[in-house]
Amino acid sequence: MSTKYNEYFLLTPGPLSTSDSVKEVMLKDWCTWDDDYNLEVVQKIRKGLVALAGADTDYTAVLMQGSGTASVESVLGSVMDENSKLLVVDNGAYGARIAEITGYLKIPTQVIELGEQGVPDAQAIDALLAADASITHVAMVHCETTTGMLNPLEAVTKVVKQKGRIMIVDAMSSFGGIPIDVQGLGIDFLISSANKCIQGVPGFGLVIARKQALEECQGRARSLALDLYAQWKCMEDNHGKWRFTSPTHTVRAFDQAMSELDQEGGVAKRHQRYIKNQTILVEGMQALGFKCLLDRSLHSPIITSFLSPNHKDYQFKTFYEKLKEQGFVIYPGKVSNADCFRIGTIGHVFPQDIEQLIVAVEKAMYWQRA
């Protein structure tokens, strides 16, 4: 299967398949100083992101050059001072990465290690916060794409805010595809990326921040380029201008992707499409004999882990290539204690595409014919 510009669908948690119109807007060059770019593209995006978060003027949006991980590091390195201590909820590679970043930055950190199939317990976090007054910030991944698990964001955020701590949410693979009431929950910093559920392309990340919490970050940054406060202040004072070179083509593509999200009916409608994609995927794969790694109650509509077939002739690489030949690219597994692979259901991908994937999977099951 092919599209106008691609020979295959990217069934991954990002980068992901984008629309032809998102690709096409990158054909034009932009000046980083020009109002046509800063006012009509960057500022429009920033305002739109706050609205997507269900927030008002108490919140703001900051765009940061680089990967999603760079934006996570910009938050961790900018919001915590010498008296801060972070509690990290770790049930996958991306929770572990948060702790790895704070190790590099020498930020005091305590980690709740749950294992890749462990579910965060809000009551246990509540008790830990009650017992340790030195913990000032809590960080958790919303959708842990290591497995595809959707963590209990509302329950955890509720206890964090009741205890008066700062809540940092890595919503890299969920924001824009799953409704999140950032202001209603009281989230202080939410981090995502251009190439995830809003269906843009890689090049920058985004931080939606409570203004009061962000204003307190002045002078705290451990990095010049990743100074979140300085980036926000520059954008505020200069009508959307970035401190350093802006990824203009990527930003314009994101603006187009935001418009297409609105045309689809917003986050709620996109969420429903993703749910339908994932439901068709799981039911189709199970009908072919595949088993999910996680219990269905823990699934997200973002990506799903399937256990590899227990057959002597099965090799992921061969399976991958046979699917790619038919127009579908999937992901290898990332779970340390289980042999599995992953299939994403986000991006410019629709239920009929997932139905065709199931047909392709059946054709690619070479070990059944060995």
Say yes or no: 222 and 334 in one domain: no
- Which positions make up the binding site for substrate? 342
CATH number of the domain residue 113 falls in: 3.40.640.10
pLDDT digits (tens, 9 = 90+) for 326-350: 999 999 998 888 899 999 999 999 9
Environment class of 56 (CB within 10 Å of its CB; exposed 0-12, middle 13-18, buried 19+): exposed
Backbone angles phi, psi at 89, to 5 degrees: -90, 115
Say yes or no: 291 and 226 in one domain: no
- Which positions make up the binding site? 342
pLDDT digits (tens, 9 = 90+) for 164-223: 999 999 999 999 999 999 999 999 999 999 999 999 999 999 999 999 999 999 999 999
Strands 143-144 and 149-150, sheet pairing: antiparallel
Number of domains in the chain: 2
Q: How far apart are CA 367 and CA 364, in angstroms?
A: 9
Q: How far apart are CA 259 and CA 280, in angstroms?
A: 27
The pLDDT confidence band at residue 2, using thresholds 50, 70 and 90, is: very low
Give the tokens for residue 292.
């999910």
Domain boundary among 263, 288, 311: 263
**Range(s) of the domain holding residue 232:** 20-263
| Helix 228-237 vs helix 68-79: crossing angle, to nearest 10 | 100
Say yes or no: 233 and 86 in one domain: yes
- Indicate the average pLDDT of the chain: 96
Which pTM does this prediction carry? 0.96
